[in-house]
Amino acid sequence: MSKLTVIPLIYHDDLITNYHALADLPGFVLLESADSRLGRYDIVSAYPYDNLKVPHGSVDLNEAFNKLERLLPPAQPGSDLPFQGGGIGYIAYEVGAKLAGIESISHPVLSDMPLIDVSFYDWAIITDHKTRTVSLMAANHCSETALLVNEIRQRWCNRGVAKHSFALSKAFAPLIKWPEYQHAFETIHHDLTQGRAYQVNYTQPFVAQYQGDPWRMYQQVRNKNRVPFSAFLRLDSADVLSFSPERFLLMDDSQLLTSPIKGSIKRSENPADDQRLKKTLLSSSKNRAENIMIVDLLRNDLGKIALTGSVNVQSLCELQSFSGVHHLVSHIAAQCREEFTPLQAFAACFPGGSITGAPKQEAMRIISEHEPFARGIYCGSIGYFSSHGRFDSNLAIRTVVARENTLYLAAGGGIVIDSNCEDEYAECYTKIKAILSEL
């Protein structure tokens, strides 16, 4: 069996220039806890040795998950690193929708992008912000890895200087107009009053035109908008930039953790006003009720795969503050039963309840009736699946797809029976303000 090796590298408070030195490599991926208060690890890699792409159309998605599991390399003992070789990539929202028998039409910009795009890596640089250490991990399943490690070490030590440019050539514009949003809101609200669902997460897409390298855009936005589950993926089909504050699901040694966000309010540059806004959010019965609905949904999702009695709400409606928005966040933990593999655990909870509504499948049906386009990566998940059974994943909100000089972005919020249409519409813009303001 090949032997996993770990080489220490120098830790810096801000490693983005180190990551920049690798950003032009094929298959470059970065999973970054840019807000290291709420996150812990960065994982960066390139030069994948294999890839799994699952196209739209008639596919067996359960078999796709099984194939993804089979492609993971054998686990190796002797390391506590979170990633020890394995898959990094995305799983689109429509995977969950298709598993529920729900179909939708992709926007032309996204129409030929895979439902699942996961590449497999034999090495990675892993930053632990808690211990302030950086490790170059080589699983050594591939004969080329030793040569790659030498190149990577040289690039890391040289650190990269940002030479790439990026600029919008046409500003973001919504793909649905206010009257269309208003009509959808009213119809969804009617469904809620008729008891069809308790909450529906309705979203709207935006597009812009750009010139330059999206990696430069990622650098610009993350420098001012630090979030714990950001990501940059350099894929064959597109570049994906995620500035997500939300964890979808973590599995570590059979322990599961999900941290839904539900409940938001804008921030103010005036400290006194910002403090008032915090108190307003914390005391909002509407936002608290929305959060608790999703907590109950996720407790039920975890209960399908958890040991009896192990599902536990660790924290309820905790305040977390980011660049442009305050959020309410809850944390639900459980212990996975032995008969479920990591990928089965992931699939059992996918997609995240905070971006569907409750009950999940009926909310997803309502979403498909009113949203004009399939969501794609947005509201799906970006993360890693390590060979030793650990995985961690974000909920791909605040996520931009860049391809063919077009940027595709979406935003939304949970509609409940006492929601106000103007407030919900404004919340969409609040959530993407931190991205738009840096461009």
Catalytic residue list: 246, 262
Burial category of 103 from C-beta neighbours within 10 Å (exposed 0-12, middle 13-18, buried 19 and up): exposed
Within 8 A by CB and 6+ apart from 143, the residues are: none
Burial category of 70 from C-beta neighbours within 10 Å (exposed 0-12, middle 13-18, buried 19 and up): exposed
Q: What does the block give as tokens for 388?
A: 């030793």
Amino acid at 100: A
Q: Which residues pair with 406 in a beta bridge?
A: 209, 403
Q: Which residues pair with 210 in a beta bridge?
A: 168
Cis bond before residue 359 (omega within 30° of 0): yes
Within 8 A by CB and 6+ apart from 330, the residues are: 259, 260, 262, 291, 294, 295, 313, 315, 316, 317, 318
Is residue 5 within 8 A of residue 140, CB to CB? The reply is yes
Q: At what angle do helices 342-349 and 61-71 cross, to 10 degrees?
A: 150
DSSP type of residue 355: G
Q: What is d(CA 414, CA 199) in angstroms, rounded to the nearest whole number? A: 6
Is residue 393 within 8 A of residue 383, CB to CB? The reply is yes
Give me the half-sphere count of Cα atoms (radius 13 Å) on the Cβ side of residue 245: 25
The H helix count followed by the E strand count for the chain is 11, 22
* Angle (CA) 24 385 122, round 5°: 50
Give me the half-sphere count of Cα atoms (radius 13 Å) on the Cβ side of residue 409: 26
Is residue 331 within 8 A of residue 318, CB to CB? The reply is yes
> Helix H segments across 227-284?
271-282
CA-CA-CA-CA torsion sign (347, 396, 206, 286) = positive
